[in-house]
Amino acid sequence: MTAVTADRLLHAASAEAAETVCAHCGQPIPDGGGSGARGPRFCCPGCSAAFETIQGLGLGRYYQQRLLDPALRAPRPETGERWDLDRAVTVNEDGTCELSMAIDGLQCGACVWLIESVLGREPAVAAGRVNMTTRRLRLVWRGAAADAERLVGRIEALGYRLVPFDAAALKAAQDHTGRALMRALAVAGFAAGNVMFISIGIWAGEAAGWLDGMGPATRDLLHWFSALIALPAIAYAGMPFFRSAAAALRQGRSNMDVPISIGVMLVTVMSLVESYRHGEHTYFDSAVSLLFFLLIGRVLDHRARGVARATAEQLLTLRASDVAVLQPDGTTLRRAQQAVAPGDRILVGLGERIGVDGVVERGTSALDASLVTGESLPVQAGIGTQVFAGTLNLGEPLVVRATATGGATLLAECVRLIEAAEARRSRFVVLADRVARRYAPAVHLTALLSFLYWYLIGGMALAPALLIASAVLIITCPCALALAVPAVQVIATSRLFQSGVLLKSATALERLAEVDTVVFDKTGTLTDPTLGLVGAGEQTRDANAPDPESLRLAASLAASSRHPLARSLLAAAGPVHAAAGVVEHQGQGLSLGEIRLGSRAFCGDPDAPPADRPELWLARPHQAPVRFVFDERLRPDAAAVIARLRRMGVDIRLLSGDRAGAVERVAATLGIDAWQAGCSPVEKVAAIEALAASGRRVLMVGDGLNDGPSLAAAHVSASPATAADISQTVADVVFQGHDLAPVATILDTARRARATMRENLALSIGYNVLMVPLAVAGLVTPWLAAAAMSSSSLLVILNSFRLRRGGAR
Amino acid sequence: MSVILYLLAGSLVLGGGGLAVFLWALRSGQYDDLEGAANRILFDDDRS
């Protein structure tokens, strides 16, 4: 994307839509809204202020150069979130303060430029740098740590959401392996280029031998020079392979790195001996370029998965919300979840998720524990009730006393079950290693046999016979074979990444391809985890049913809140103009003058029949209060995805912790016959393991804390990005968005990827079948070996690229 | 043919220099954000 295209697109868009979208955030403005008849119009005061700020700083070019992606969060400033930044700020040795934050709402290069420019205008800021790949902001400033709040506020006022990283956790997460691989790649690339350069000289001298040949002395010199470059490079760049091979051998196993290591070492030693013997052929170039090619594959593989992992982490970070800790004087202080100590008292408002495990100390309310237990009906909570992190408060504000995550909590129980399930799960051997197990002995035996043949039967001297055996090893050194799988993996991983699917595990793709049974959880997996407003038609029997006009009014209040129910209300109402001057009452609701929106006690009708579902009330002077009821819905494409999976020949099952009635309803709607309700985490694990014992390969898709153990027990597992933290951490695959379609897409991609991997393996083994007879016959020269190795590797890589085209949309 | 010695040494020094520069760039984090670097070039730095 260039600025020119961005500009043109924006002009095209603005020609027709300039009057109806907000000049700052690009969201539609409802009719009758907007400030002023002429000039830019805005959807809310926050956007208007952000526009003024940007123009005031002379950064108005941002609007010409940006490109808004409708799929991403619009840059609409929000209020109501205050982070406790103290834990995240580190003070450097030179007295500057440093802070790292995840940015939500980063749209394109213009956003990066805007954020950095705004920070650059702050005299105190020493460095404000956005990393666009990881979507992180690193901020360094001079002055007090408390300035963080003001600086972060500047960026938040522009419409971005910032969530601090824990400084200690950030340090631990640095990617040392990636850097080491990259250094090895650089060394191997340098050596491969130079040695190949020298080798071409040698080959040219050999080819021109009948004209004006290269003298043996010059050739020896060039051989030794190649050795001088190649030996240290092989020692350094080969380390990742040698280490992995040694680790495998120590455990009595074999993997692809074993034949690679043996091949490289033998080739090197043989070439050294040849150089010493003033021989004609050395193979330093083959050894180094083999490492170079393989390292390219490893680096790309590592990077693709690293990006997927970092994105998964980023999702978890952005979702983290702060909790309101009650102070002794009755005020509240927002704190990060990790900063809450046992014994702290926490205020949990209507529609907030309880951030910690604890015991209710004050208040009674209904709780939605679906993310914890899978139960979709709310449970009543009163003083003394044990509550778990992740539970949604549907009613009145509660005061919860945090308890330590002791051995008795549900979380600890699930962690124990997960560990047990992971320990029981058999170790998966990847395709490449299975091939290597048979391949390595076969080629080593061939080399030995050809040596014995030439030495004993062919009547050759020891040295030339050894040379032929080495040539066999060089030709069979599994460059293409070792690239066959990673090349496919890189392409499949980045393809899935573009469609919002994060492959976290290296072996997930191969395990997914084997799946023949998919087990779904119900709540939050087949159903949409965000609550939907129950349609007006269903509420006609209700005396407090909302009309469109009150829905619009309620949404205009809700627009300035981050509250989940307010968000659902906003989504149901469509574009509305956010009302100015809305006051948020912690844990109770919102008010605008005498208009109130919030909990039943805050503004509802106390005589209305009690709710079994989440609700919001709207009260206006001189009018009866209006009630908005929310409920869970099936994901819109659930039925289509189930049908598609069936067509792929996959058996579908449903395992839920919810009551039989609710599960049966969903199962009947989707046509799933095999369902089981009321499962505890232990029963879910047992069901999965029973399936595995009957020879099935199970993909478990679940989101709740109670699904964690069964995710760990399954052959391979997937979680939506809305899942409980622990489930998302356990799952091999995380998918984003409102749709269930990614489940079918990943299975489809995995199957096609496996087919491509097999083609690649067949191609590279086929190349060996062609070349080995030449090697055994003693006809392979160094240039032929180099050409054959490069061309077979290229062939495998090009074949993998076919995966990018066609197939899944 | 002794010129070949100088040429070999020269190529090694030049190549080694390139390698050193790359390793330095890697160490100083220039490969940490390739996407950002691609976009940054489109915008003027007006801080000066």
Closest to A522 measured CA to CA, from A672, A401, A394, A400: A672
The rounded mean pLDDT for chain A is: 82
Tell me which chain A residue has its CA closest to the CA of residue B12.
Answer: A194
User: A466 Cβ partners below 8 Å, 6+ apart?
Assistant: A270, A451
CB-CB neighbours of B4 under 10 Å: 13
Question: What local confidence, expressed as pLDDT, does residue A16 receive?
Answer: 42
Summarised one tens digit per residue, pLDDT across range A768-779 is 888 888 888 888
Tell me which chain B residue has its CA closest to the CA of residue A113.
Answer: B43
Q: Name residue A289's amino acid.
A: S
Q: Average pLDDT for residues A320-338, to the nearest whole number?
A: 74
Partner-chain contact B19 A218, CB within 8 Å: no
Summarised one tens digit per residue, pLDDT across range A36-63 is 456 777 877 888 888 888 888 888 888 8
Question: What local confidence, expressed as pLDDT, does residue A482 receive?
Answer: 84
Q: Which of A131, A300, A307 to mutate to test the interface with B (most CBs of B within 10 A)?
A: A131
Partner-chain contact A194 B33, CB within 8 Å: no
> Which is catalytic among the residues A521, A703, A732, A739?
A521
Q: When comparing pLDDT for B25 and A334, which is higher? A: B25
Half-sphere exposure of A804 (CA within 13 A, CB side): 10
Partner-chain contact A190 B26, CB within 8 Å: no
Partner-chain contact A221 B43, CB within 8 Å: no
Closest to A161 measured CA to CA, from A562, A516, A488, A456: A562
Composition of chain A by helix, strand, coil, percent to 5? 50, 15, 35
A58: left (phi over 0), alpha (psi -120 to 50) or beta: left
Please spell the DSSP secondary structure of A382-416, one letter per residue: -TT-EE-TTPEE-SS-EEEEE----TTSHHHHHHH
A179 and chain B in contact, CB less than 8 A: yes
Half-sphere exposure of B33 (CA within 13 A, CB side): 19
pLDDT more than 70, % of chain A = 89
- Asked if A436 and A478 touch (Cβ cutoff 8 Å), the reply is yes
CA B45 to chain centre: 23
Q: What are phi and psi of A103, to 5 degrees?
A: -105, 130
Q: What are phi and psi of A259, to 5 degrees?
A: -60, -35
Tell me which chain A residue has its CA closest to the CA of residue B23.
Answer: A183
Q: State the Cα–Cα distance between residues A732 and A715, nearest whole angstrom.
A: 10
Please spell the DSSP secondary structure of A286-344, one letter per residue: HHHHHHHHHHHHHHHHHHHHHHHHHHHHHHHHHH---EEEEPTTS-EEEE-GGGPPTT-
Q: Average pLDDT for residues A82-96, to the nearest whole number?
A: 79
- Asked if A673 and A651 touch (Cβ cutoff 8 Å), the reply is no
**CB < 8 Å to B20, chain A:** none
Q: State the Cα–Cα distance between residues A390 and A376, nearest whole angstrom.
A: 14
User: A475 Cβ partners below 8 Å, 6+ apart?
Assistant: A768, A771, A772, A774, A775, A780, A785, A788
Closest to A672 measured CA to CA, from A719, A638, A623: A638
Predicted complex ipTM: 0.88
Catalytic residue at A521?
A: yes
And the tokens for B29? Answer: 């984090």
Q: State the Cα–Cα distance between residues A101 and A131, nearest whole angstrom.
A: 10
B36 and chain A in contact, CB less than 8 A: yes
Question: What local confidence, expressed as pLDDT, does residue A174 receive?
Answer: 67
Question: What local confidence, expressed as pLDDT, does residue A82 receive?
Answer: 63
User: A202 Cβ partners below 8 Å, 6+ apart?
Assistant: A214, A219, A222, A223, A782
Question: What local confidence, expressed as pLDDT, does residue A408 receive?
Answer: 55
Tell me which chain A residue has its CA closest to the CA of residue B36.
Answer: A132
pLDDT band with cut points at 50, 70 and 90 for residue B35: confident
A193 and chain B in contact, CB less than 8 A: yes
Q: Which of A5, A132, A219 to mutate to test the interface with B (most CBs of B within 10 A)?
A: A132
CA A805 to chain centre: 23
A556 and chain B in contact, CB less than 8 A: no
3-class SS letters over A407-462: CCCHHHHHHHHHHHHHHHCCCCCCHHHHHHHHHHHHHHHHHHHHHHHHHHHCCCCH
Summarised one tens digit per residue, pLDDT across range A590-621 is 888 888 888 777 877 777 766 666 778 888 88
Closest to A514 measured CA to CA, from A732, A191, A779: A732
And the tokens for A596? Answer: 């109130």
Q: State the Cα–Cα distance between residues A543 and A626, nearest whole angstrom.
A: 8
Q: State the nearest Cα–Cα gap between B34 and chain A, in angstroms.
A: 7
Please spell the DSSP secondary structure of A257-275, one letter per residue: HHHHHHHHHHHHHHHHHHH
Residue B18 clears pLDDT 60, i.e. is over it? yes
Residue A738 clears pLDDT 70, i.e. is over it? yes
Partner-chain contact B8 A225, CB within 8 Å: yes
Residue carrying structure tokens 């092989």: A234
CA A21 to chain centre: 32
Strand duo A626-631 + A532-533: pairing:
antiparallel
Closest to A444 measured CA to CA, from A480, A481, A472: A472
| Helix (H), strand (E) counts: chain A | 28, 27
User: A744 Cβ partners below 8 Å, 6+ apart?
Assistant: A641, A644, A645, A648
Q: State the Cα–Cα distance between residues A291 and A282, nearest whole angstrom.
A: 16
A225 and chain B in contact, CB less than 8 A: yes
Paired residues of A527 in beta bridges: A634
**CB < 8 Å to A193, chain B:** 15
Domains of chain A, with CATH numbers?
3-65 (no CATH), 90-172 (3.30.70.100), 343-403 (2.70.150.10), 497-529+635-752 (3.40.50.1000), 532-631 (3.40.1110.10)
